[in-house]
Amino acid sequence: MKLSVFGKKFAGKSGIVELMDDLGTALNENPDMIFMGGGNPGRLLEVEAIFQQRLEVVMRDPRQRHSLFGIYQSPQGDIEFRQQLAAFLKQQFGWSLTAANIAVSNGSQSAFFVLYNMFAGAMPDGSEHAIHLPLAPEYLGYADVGLSENFFTATQPDIALLEDHLFKYHVDFSSLQVDEQTAALCVSRPTNPTGNVLTDEEIAHLDAIAHSNDIPLIIDGAYGLPFPNILFCDARPHWSENTILTLSLSKLGLPGVRTGIIVANEEVIQAYTNANTIVSLACGNLGPALAKELFKSGEILSLTRDYVTPYYRERSQQAAQWFRDNLGDLPYHIHKPEGAIFLWLWFEDLPISCQALYQRLKQRGVLIVPGHNFFVGMGEGWRHKHECIRVSYAQDADSVQRGIKIIAEEVARAYRG
């Protein structure tokens, strides 16, 4: 099969392809596999019941049912959903928004494909611009979305060692460099993979740097504020005319409906909508149909406060303690769990690579994600990137506990040689 340059890049293997292949196998073909790899959210029955009730209302109403199944929505997304979301964000945070500031995507991944390639890559003057990640490690799903090479740059973080085998990454502003080839800054908050929540001060500093260089700050809020609010520390949601905030319904418990949300100034939204028309033609209707009343009534706040946030906070604390109980005196560090649905572990001076550890664990029926995939935009010179793994604690507690025991056994075996 003769492939184009595009074909070779996007039809080949990559970290995100391997991750989603493992996810599909674990969840659909091999139910005995202990799945601690991808970002599939946990199953919260109370939240499922709310979505079921909403779907039943839609199905009983001929107008809503026809709108769900029988109508192409605008490439910008369902107007009523965008109006309700804009009103919610304006009421809660005072943001000056209308429906024109919001677009819907068929999942966050497709939104980032369009957004990143709108700003970075080959420029009309022949130069090449890159997306800069101020805090690596970052989401591995970004790594392969660029249509050109050298699409990302990144700043190596500061590491603060904390008590009780914890550590935390911070943005190293003294090393952060923005130049004429920087197209945008991008951070996830909470950070996928580490569960790090950049402080309000760090976010404000990054926004100021972006604004002074006339580039956008992109904040990936798939796990964050204001929903699904999987945060375990104090933080304020952030948006400005220079910010592109992306949100998602997936971690509320709706990964299958593939609904992403972009909040930005009208110029960005119009450009995104034009591109999305070419890429997707129209947006899916199910996510907005299920969620619009949650924003209209404000129920989205109680849903996250009463069910989503407490579930993941408790599970993160459990999983961290299970690792401490099983890893004992091994040279390990856990990134301070401040949000998201993962623990990020650093095994200092690990004698094998994290990729080799991943393969050993896979043979024993446990799926994790090797950490080197997440150091997007960084070279190979930092050994640290091969000493880390990402572990999801979203699945049932018994499986997570069994998986942690096996991980600890394999890590101990690696240190013993």
- What's the domain count of the chain? 2
Structure confidence at residue 2 as a pLDDT band (50, 70, 90): confident
Residue 258 predicted with pLDDT over 90: yes
Nearest to 103 by CA among 263, 265, 275, 294: 263
Q: What is the mean pLDDT of residues 46-57?
A: 93
Percent of the chain clearing pLDDT 90 (strictly above): 79
380: DSSP letter: S
Residue 6 predicted with pLDDT over 90: no
Q: What is the mean pLDDT of residues 76-84?
A: 93
The DSSP annotation for 127-172 comes to -EEEEEESSSS--GGGTT--SSSS-EEE-PPEEEE-STTEEEEE--
Structure tokens of 417? Answer: 């040689």
Per-residue pLDDT at 325: 97
Domain ends where: 299, 318, 350?
299
- Taking a C-beta distance cutoff of 8 angstroms, is the pair 392, 167 a contact? no
- In this structure, the answer to whether residues 233 and 291 fall within a common structural domain is yes
Structure tokens of 205? Answer: 């500093």
Percent of the chain clearing pLDDT 70 (strictly above): 96
- In this structure, the answer to whether residues 98 and 155 fall within a common structural domain is yes
Its pTM stands at 0.93
Helix (H) / strand (E) containing 59: helix 45-60
* CATH classification of the domain holding 190: 3.40.640.10
Domain housing 19: 5-43+303-416
- In this structure, the answer to whether residues 295 and 323 fall within a common structural domain is no
197 CB burial (10 A radius; 0-12, 13-18, 19+):
buried
- In this structure, the answer to whether residues 281 and 409 fall within a common structural domain is no
Q: Is residue 239 part of a domain?
A: yes
Q: What is the mean pLDDT of residues 188-210?
A: 96
Tell which wins on pLDDT, 22 or 379. 379
Per-residue pLDDT at 22: 67
380 CB burial (10 A radius; 0-12, 13-18, 19+):
exposed
pLDDT tens for each residue of 53-77: 999 999 999 998 898 898 888 889 9
225 three-state secondary structure: coil
Q: Is the backbone peptide bond immediately before 237 cis, with ω within 30 degrees of 0?
A: no
Nearest to 195 by CA among 142, 232, 244: 232
Q: Is residue 333 part of a domain?
A: yes
Residue 27 predicted with pLDDT over 60: no
Residues written for the chain: 417
- In this structure, the answer to whether residues 309 and 406 fall within a common structural domain is yes
Structure confidence at residue 200 as a pLDDT band (50, 70, 90): very high
Structure confidence at residue 23 as a pLDDT band (50, 70, 90): low
Q: CA 281 to CA 73: how far, in whole Å? A: 9
Q: Is residue 59 part of a domain?
A: no
The DSSP annotation for 19-32 comes to HHHHHHIIIII-TT
Residue 355 predicted with pLDDT over 60: yes
Q: What is the mean pLDDT of residues 138-167?
A: 93
Per-residue pLDDT at 33: 85
- In this structure, the answer to whether residues 292 and 311 fall within a common structural domain is no
Residue 26 predicted with pLDDT over 60: no
Residue 20 predicted with pLDDT over 80: no
Residue 272 predicted with pLDDT over 90: yes
- In this structure, the answer to whether residues 221 and 105 fall within a common structural domain is yes
Q: CA 353 to CA 334: how far, in whole Å? A: 17
Query: How high is the mean pLDDT of the chain?
Result: 92
Per-residue pLDDT at 332: 97
Structure confidence at residue 281 as a pLDDT band (50, 70, 90): confident
- In this structure, the answer to whether residues 139 and 252 fall within a common structural domain is yes
45 CB burial (10 A radius; 0-12, 13-18, 19+):
exposed
Nearest to 243 by CA among 97, 415, 351: 97
Domain ends where: 274, 299, 324?
299
* CATH classification of the domain holding 391: 3.90.1150.10
Q: What is the mean pLDDT of residues 114-124?
A: 94
Domain ends where: 266, 299, 332?
299
Q: Is residue 102 part of a domain?
A: yes
Q: What is the mean pLDDT of residues 392-400?
A: 93
Q: What is the mean pLDDT of residues 323-350?
A: 97
Per-residue pLDDT at 367: 93
